[in-house]
Amino acid sequence: MKADLCVIGAGAAGLVSSSGAAMLGRKVVLFEAGEMGGDCLNYGCVPSKALLTAADVAHQVRTAGRFGVNVGEPEIDFAAVRAHVRGAIEAIHPNDSQERFEGMGVTVIRERARFIDPQTVASNGYEVKAKRFVLATGTRPRVPPVAGLAELTPLTSETIWDLETLPEHLLVLGGGPIGCELGQAFARLGSQVTIVEAGAALARFEPVQAAVVKAALTADGVDLQENARVERAESGGGGVRLQLADGRWLEGSHVLAAAGREPVTEGLGLSEAGIETDDGGVVCDDKLRTTNRRVYAAGDIAGKGALTHLAGWHGSVILRNLYFGLPTRQSSAPIPQAVYTDPPLAAIGLTEAAARERHGDAVDTARWGFDDNDRAICEGRPEGEAKLVVGKGGALLGVHVVGERADDIVQIASATMQKGGKVRELTEPVAPYPTRGEILKRAAGAHFEPVVFGRFAKAWAGLLSAFH
């Protein structure tokens, strides 16, 4: 077969690349050996958010008494919870299905593909020579190199959905977004949960805001063990045992490895195609072109970050460069990220520490708490804040939000930063009252308060007042 574009991997990046090229009239071949929709639909974003929703409902029932609604302890039907998770996947699946993409004109081949030379890909039954290729094979959960752990076949973010009963005591290795989200969800559904993190949990986020989430985990009964390195794992007592570096043992019924992900590069024939790799995945430039100029990398495999919306953006970048003549760099768009715990944690741009390292003393910050947001007070959820990181000339370098609906609120900042906007632009829109989204305007206003209501402003107001 001959094609304009050959894509390997039907996750977010591969699907965006395939559909866009096909809609532009290009002949597209898409290889996928696993499930259409990739990790996000089948093991990541969709099932985890469905599980988190069930856990949140249980929490709302459990804590409804504080609003004068007395219900009592909820009864968890884990089989029904699993059915809800499966139902969410099935409802979204048609968007990513083979039938839909074939309807767009994409030739979908459900086989494992590999390069056999720099311009040809082959599977068991097909051989495709294409003008351009997109590698979008993603990443998989990494099992940390703890002695004895691999022999226990720990749960991962892919296999945890196969559980038929609620874990009695879930030991989670890793205090990043996946570990914290799943840990909180299972705790709220009734499992005893221990999260073990070798460093600080949620270390990539603003420390004060991460602390808000960690306090919520603890309030939900999660035993959060930070700065605790696991040295050995073994079976015992009908479950698992983990030995920490300080000699302590932790015992549980199940263990979940949530300590990062690793790129899927083996079996792709990359050396035959002249494509270089490193620890992060496939080596590529800012336009996602690999060391084989015919081949682009997109999504997690590109080593630029592991987010579904980033993978979708990568697909768009490739289409812009190939078929619209727009020299778009993947780094040209600020990419938000969110942790879907309760409360959620969201960020875009630089943390204060990173901004000061890059820009020195030309960095200022402004913040506003949800404890001074009327909607948050009415909802009985005043914990959290918004924090702005501001550079020279009012440049908006970073926005960080923790609190109810933080993942939605950060999109306001995303739109502003995408256009290169400054902090002043956050003060200009008139927000409906009362809403949590007002918090960004209030934080931006706090940044300007010393100027707007300072000594010069008072003198100017006095002068104008004398003539009116």
Binding residues for NAD(+): 174-181, 197, 260
Binding residues for FAD: 49, 300
The b-or-e profile of 223-247 (16+ CB within 10 A means b, else e) is: bbbeebebeebeeeeebbbbbbeee
CB 430 within 8 A of CB 410: no
Please name the residues in contact with 75: beta carbons below 8 A apart, sequence gap of 6 or more: none
Beta strand 277-278 pairing with 337-339? unpaired
* Alpha-carbon distances, residue 262 vs 124, 259, 431 (angstroms): 26, 10, 42
Looking at residue 75, the DSSP 8-state letter turns out to be P
What kind and span of H or E run contains 240?
strand 239-244
Structure tokens at 164: 């038929």
Among 167, 160, 127, 100, CA closest to 31:
127
Looking at residue 174, the DSSP 8-state letter turns out to be -
Binding residues: 49, 174-181, 197, 260, 300
* Cα 408 from Cα 413, distance rounded (Å): 10
H and E: helices and strands count for the chain: 14, 23
Among 432, 438, 433, 370, CA closest to 404:
370
What kind and span of H or E run contains 338?
strand 337-339
Q: Determine the longest span between alpha carbons in the chain, in angstroms.
A: 87
CB 253 within 8 A of CB 261: no
Per the listing, tokens 């409360």 go with 343
The b-or-e profile of 63-98 (16+ CB within 10 A means b, else e) is: eeeeeeeeeeebebebeebbebbeebbeebbeebee
